[in-house]
Each structure stands twice: as structure tokens, then as C-alpha cells.
Amino acid sequence: MIDVTEEIISSSLRIATPLALAALGELVTEKSGVLNLGVEGIMYGSAFVGIATAAQTGSLTAGLVAALVSGALAGLIFAFATVTLGVNQHVAGLGLTLLMISLCNTANRIMFTADGGQVRVDPWQPLNFGGPIFSQYWLTYATFLIAVPFVWWLLWKSGLGLKIRAVGENPEAADVAGIGVAKTRYTAIIIGSLFMALAGAFITLAFVGTFTVNIINGRGWVALALVIFGRWTIGRLLIGAALFSLVNAGQLQLRLLPSFADVPFEILLALPFLAVIVGLAISGRNVPYPGAYLKPYKRL
């Protein structure tokens, strides 16, 4: 029993890593008043670019750098569309997701699967500090020990964070205070995209070591839900990520039990998403949206 519990916690941490990273990125972005529905697409793009580069160069580090560059570029495109051009954020975000997914699938087919093969790399291995719980990928340690405190400091302690929150709540006021609204939003979107890119790279370069169609599998959408569930605070966002990952890890263990052999696995697969919906239904009311959520800013 202890073994199973430890196993569940250990795999929860693995599952939670990309969710937490992507949700942190989305949080930074949304705090500036911008909803980035491109999160699924940015993760998809970085997952592919990361592994493709790693496969070509033989270096996982090069793959990670390329994944970050691809995330930043995708973020830049999204920022240009929503901040500079003032394109509707829903449209721009969904468009970005669709674009990234189809670009990557096409490139994957041309580069790797045309002759029936599949791209593969030797992924990062867990670093073992004792026991299954402390046997995790370096990115998992980095996420919870570095990224989480960093985003907390960035948003609530740094000057840039104050500016991000100000342009997200009242861009007019920020403008009057001499803060560049567009510049601040670009910065927030790109920082956010880098976190999303890390999430995508984690999946191919650490978790699975290969790329298949639909590899992100809705994790980006879950990250979006986690930000709302978390009411734009880091603590609650992490609680949400933990709950989702625990249910997910739990259902994976359930599937191994003989008594569940007859239950269609799709039902178990759906459990964590059901948990998201229930969580949102409970906590999603009267949420404190940033004041300028979804609103482009233009000086008259």
C-alpha cells in the first residue's frame, strides 16, 4: 500500500510538471490582461521543435534551447496580433493553436514519419535522491523549486510584476503613470510563452522521448482551467494542479487492478477532466478576472 501511495505521488509530480509550467505561463500572461488560448499550440510547437532539434543535433540541451526559441517566436506573433493589431484574443489564440498543431504535424510527417518511422531521442533520466517520490526529472525539481518561487516573486514582488498587474487591471492608469502598456504586455506574453515552451519540451525531451500526433493531449486547456480554478493566485493554482495530477495518477493505478479490468479505460481516462469540470463549477463563480481581461488598449 505504501508503495502504491508513493508511486501515485511520484507520478503525480511528473504529471503536474508540464501543467504547472504552462499554467504559470498563462498566469503571467493573463495578469497583464491578455488571455492566451495559444497555450496548447505553443506547447505543441515546442514539444516538436525540441525533439526534432535534439534528434538532428544529438543534444537535448540544443533541443531545449530551440524549444524556448520557438515558444518565444510564437508568443511574439501572438503579442503582435493581440497587442499591436488589437485582434480579438480568442480568435488569435485559437488560430495560433490550430496553426502550430498543423505545422508540426506536417513537418513531422515530412521529416520523420514519411517512411513509417518515428522520431526518437534518449530522454533525460530521473535524478534519484532516494525513493520513488524523489526520483524525478531535473525539470520537475526546477519547476517546483525555481519556477514557482520565481513567478511568485515576479508577479508580486518585482517592479515588472507591478507593471504587469497594473496594465492588466487598468491600462489607462498605467499609461498615465508612464508605463508602456504595449511593451509590458509583450513582455508578459513572451515570458508566459517561455514557460509554456518549457512545458512542451518537458513532454518530449523528458517524459516520452518521442513525438506522436496529439502529444499534448489537452494539457494546455487544463492549464487554462487551472488559472481560473486558482483565481489568479499561485497557491490555488498549484492545489488545482495537484488535484488533477493525483486523480490522473490514481486512475492510472486503478487500471492495473484486476477488479477494474472490465471497466472501459476511457471512463477512467475521463476522470481527471471530470475533476476539472467539477472544480471549475465549484470555484469558477465570481472569479476575480483581471479588470482589463480581453481588452486591447489604445490611446485616443
The site for other proteins (CB under 8 A) is made up of 157-160, 162-163, 165-166, 169-170, 172-179, 288, 291, 299-300
User: Smallest distance, Å, CB 141 to other proteins?
Assistant: 25
Task: Please say which residue, 214 or 286, places its beta carbon nearer to other proteins.
Answer: 286
User: Smallest distance, Å, CB 298 to other proteins?
Assistant: 12
Task: Please say which residue, 171 or 279, places its beta carbon nearer to other proteins.
Answer: 171
Task: Please say which residue, 170 or 253, places its beta carbon nearer to other proteins.
Answer: 170
CA-CA distance, 279 to 201, in Å (whole number)?
28
Task: Please say which residue, 18 or 171, places its beta carbon nearer to other proteins.
Answer: 171
CA-CA distance, 152 to 144, in Å (whole number)?
12
Task: Please say which residue, 174 or 201, places its beta carbon nearer to other proteins.
Answer: 174
Task: Please say which residue, 43 or 166, places its beta carbon nearer to other proteins.
Answer: 166
User: Smallest distance, Å, CB 178 to other proteins?
Assistant: 4
Task: Please say which residue, 132 or 291, places its beta carbon nearer to other proteins.
Answer: 291
Tally the C-alpha atoms within 13 A of residue 246's C-alpha that lie toward its C-beta: 10
User: Smallest distance, Å, CB 173 to other proteins?
Assistant: 4
User: Which residue's entry shows cell 504559470?
Assistant: 24
User: Smallest distance, Å, CB 148 to other proteins?
Assistant: 19
Please choose, from the candidates 208, 58, 12, 13, the residue with its C-alpha nearest in 3D space to the C-alpha of residue 124: 208
Mind giving me the DSSP string for 231-248?
TT-HHHHHHHHHHHHHHH
DSSP reduced 3-state for 221: helix
User: Smallest distance, Å, CB 158 to other proteins?
Assistant: 6
Task: Please say which residue, 94 or 179, places its beta carbon nearer to other proteins.
Answer: 179
136 pairs with which residues across the strands? Answer: 127
User: Smallest distance, Å, CB 291 to other proteins?
Assistant: 7
Q: Write the CB contacts of 127 (distance below 8 Å, at least 6 apart in sequence).
A: 135, 136, 137, 138, 141
Q: Write the CB contacts of 211 (distance below 8 Å, at least 6 apart in sequence).
A: 47, 48, 51, 52, 108, 112, 118, 119, 204
Burial class (CB in 10 A: 0-12, 13-18, 19+), 6: middle
User: Smallest distance, Å, CB 282 to other proteins?
Assistant: 23
Please choose, from the candidates 6, 2, 3, 8, the residue with its C-alpha nearest in 3D space to the C-alpha of residue 254: 8
CA-CA distance, 175 to 82, in Å (whole number)?
18
Element (H, E) at 286: none
